Structure 1
């Protein structure tokens, strides 16, 4: 593929991700993409084989962006604080692109697209950073001995459920939800074996880092 073709293909992916993020699934059509990029609708079939192929490329772009955000959390001497930062970055990613988030995890379908096993493996691969942080939590004695991947998946289930319910408007509280969210994360750490005092100290450290980046 020539450089010009590669650039055009990437532009279609980026514009599709933007339209999906800003305007939702209904905005994503071959005609709208052609208008936004100054190309013909045929380009979508040339590069992606049709709209489902384009949606798959957009999902991969979404997971790539999520991985990049998670990678900004650098390992520190406090792995629990690191895991909190990763969860906050995950939630922020969903808030920045809620429509894209829904499609990435199969909560919304476009042009008949359905997630494949390859798509799901890509999402799981994105969690390697979180798994590494959980592993360090166990190695340092903050979490009880257990399979790191099992804890990662359990935490992800809780986190994804919270974020999805929040985006759908089902979670209400007398307190700001940011506070509630941090409380959920703290309780998950305590459930994994951390002490309440240590978890609270790690949350304060995580929030300080988040607020200063």
Structure 2
């Protein structure tokens, strides 16, 4: 196993702090203490805290996108879409602080719909839009704009997760998962050709 570089150690420590306590828990002092270096040493690798937090978000996007891409390869397009969207729920419930920072916090560098997404700058939504376009080409879904439809699916999933995490459901996690998946099925039924 290759030895971790100092930037890797910094990212790993910051990631753990973020996962446990959110962005507020990530300070240069705390990260440095976890790595065993001085706080000033971090600045050799990351110019500021914001750059470190951005990297954590970028890594979160990449992780979700990789999982979405793997799950979307299911030979059944519906199952691939369903599994990708279920993985989004899994990530949100398993890593709520990372999820919030990556997907729910306003940031100046955040991608904007439609231009950034249509330009394939989103590693996550591109997976869904491509799968929807593939389903349309195969005649499984009615013709529509795959990007608009992908954003609709994402908006539904994200909105339900946000409401659940805000205590707006009396469901336990298992009941909420069933509701979430059934809501996605309702959308899938509406776009079938």
**Which residue of structure 2 aligns with residue 92 of structure 1?**
90
Residues 23-102 of structure 1 correspond to what in structure 2 (within 5 A)? 23-102=21-100
Q: Matched residue of 1:72: which SS?
A: helix
Structure 1, unmatched stretches of 5+, are 109-113, 195-213
Q: Over residues 92-140 of structure 1, what are the superposed CA-to-partner deviations in whole Å (9 max), with x where a residue is unaligned? A: 11112111111112437xxxxx341469958723222211211122122
RMSD: 2.6
* TM-score, length basis structure 2: 0.85
Q: Over residues 140-172 of structure 1, what are the superposed CA-to-partner deviations in whole Å (9 max), with x where a residue is unaligned? A: 222111111111111111111111222222223
Structure 1 segments of 4+ aligned residues over 6 angstroms from their partners? none
Q: Matched residue of 1:47: which SS?
A: coil
Q: Distance in 1 between matches of 2:110 and 2:95?
A: 23
Answer 1 or 2: higher relative contact order, Cα 8 Å, separation at least 6.
Answer: 1
Change (3 A) 1:172 1:60: same
**Which residue of structure 2 aligns with residue 189 of structure 1?**
188
Whether the aligned pair in 1 keeps the contact of 2:72 and 2:84 (CA below 8 Å) is no
Across the two proteins, how many residue pairs are aligned to each other?
186
Residues 1-213 of structure 1 correspond to what in structure 2 (within 5 A)? 7-107=5-105, 114-117=107-110, 124-173=122-171, 176-193=175-192
Q: Distance in 2 between matches of 1:119 and 1:66?
A: 18
Say which is worse superposed, 171-180 or 181-190, in terms of deviation.
171-180
Whether the aligned pair in 1 keeps the contact of 2:135 and 2:141 (CA below 8 Å) is yes
Change (3 A) 1:97 1:18: same
Structure 2, unmatched stretches of 5+, are none
**Shift of residue 30 of structure 1?**
1.0
**Shift of residue 26 of structure 1?**
2.9
Say which is worse superposed, 127-136 or 27-36, in terms of deviation.
127-136
**Shift of residue 84 of structure 1?**
0.4
Q: Distance in 1 between matches of 2:65 and 2:83?
A: 13
**Shift of residue 8 of structure 1?**
0.8
Q: Distance in 1 between matches of 2:127 and 2:66?
A: 10
